[in-house]
């Protein structure tokens, strides 16, 4: 039931080759960027359901929050951490029409590194889940992957 709802919202973006391309980039410790955005989208969706938030914005914003095409450990702009939300937003805008909430989710997902905080509960949630997933990728020896599920 939940998976069905998730897939209904996520599928149009996941089928787009510009999002699929993220499978070509390593993101955190052997996990591709596509794995990462799907994981953040799925977990954010589950918490979004629990708090009765706008799950469409959560899924779409989370899937697009790291839409950049370079290996950030080896290339890309200086101050990647600060700059990639804007790069991802620019790329996402070429891919689909975004709501204000989805824009805020992408643009503010690196808070507090990027000083201005998220303004919606949905953006705050994705920001927290992204930090959680990224931290877990580095500190846990167990590999978490939602790939098989989604």
- From 3-11, 13-21, 50-58, 124-132, span contacting Fe ion (CB under 5 A): 124-132
Q: What does the block give as tokens for 47? A: 């918490």
| Residue with smaller CB distance to Fe ion, 4 or 94 | 94
Minimum distance from residue 62 beta carbon to Fe ion (Å)? 8
Q: Does 66 bind Fe ion (CB under 5 A)?
A: yes
- From 12-20, 46-54, 59-67, 142-150, span contacting Fe ion (CB under 5 A): 59-67
CA distance 90 to 98: 11
Size of site (CB under 5 A) for Fe ion: 2
Burial 28-53 (b: 16+ CB within 10 A, else e): beebbbbbbbbbbbbbbbeebeeeeb
Q: What does the block give as tokens for 132? A: 């959680």
Q: Name the residue among 127, 122, 134, 124 with its Cα closest to residue 98.
A: 122
Q: Name the residue among 138, 66, 67 with its Cα closest to residue 109.
A: 66
Q: Does 130 bind Fe ion (CB under 5 A)?
A: yes
Minimum distance from residue 41 beta carbon to Fe ion (Å)? 10
Q: What does the block give as tokens for 16? A: 């787009």
| Residue with smaller CB distance to Fe ion, 122 or 130 | 130
| Residue with smaller CB distance to Fe ion, 52 or 101 | 101
- Kindly list the residues in this chain that would bind Fe ion in the complex (CB under 5 A): 66, 130
């Amino acid at each position: 039931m939940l998976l069905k709802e998730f897939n209904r919202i996520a599928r149009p973006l996941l089928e787009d080759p510009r999002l699929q391309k993220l499978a070509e980039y390593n993101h955190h410790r052997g996990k591709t960027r596509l794995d990462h955005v799907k994981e953040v989208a799925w977990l954010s969706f589950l918490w979004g359901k629990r708090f009765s938030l706008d799950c469409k914005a959560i899924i779409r914003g989370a899937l697009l929050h790291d839409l950049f095409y370079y290996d950030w450990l080896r290339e890309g702009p200086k101050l990647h951490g600060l700059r990639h939300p804007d790069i991802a937003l620019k790329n996402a805008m070429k891919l689909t029409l975004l709501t204000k909430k989805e824009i805020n989710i992408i643009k503010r997902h690196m808070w507090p590194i990027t000083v201005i905080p998220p303004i919606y509960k949905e953006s705050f949630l994705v920001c927290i889940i992204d930090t959680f997933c990224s931290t877990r990728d580095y500190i846990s020896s167990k590999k978490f992957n939602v790939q098989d599920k989604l």
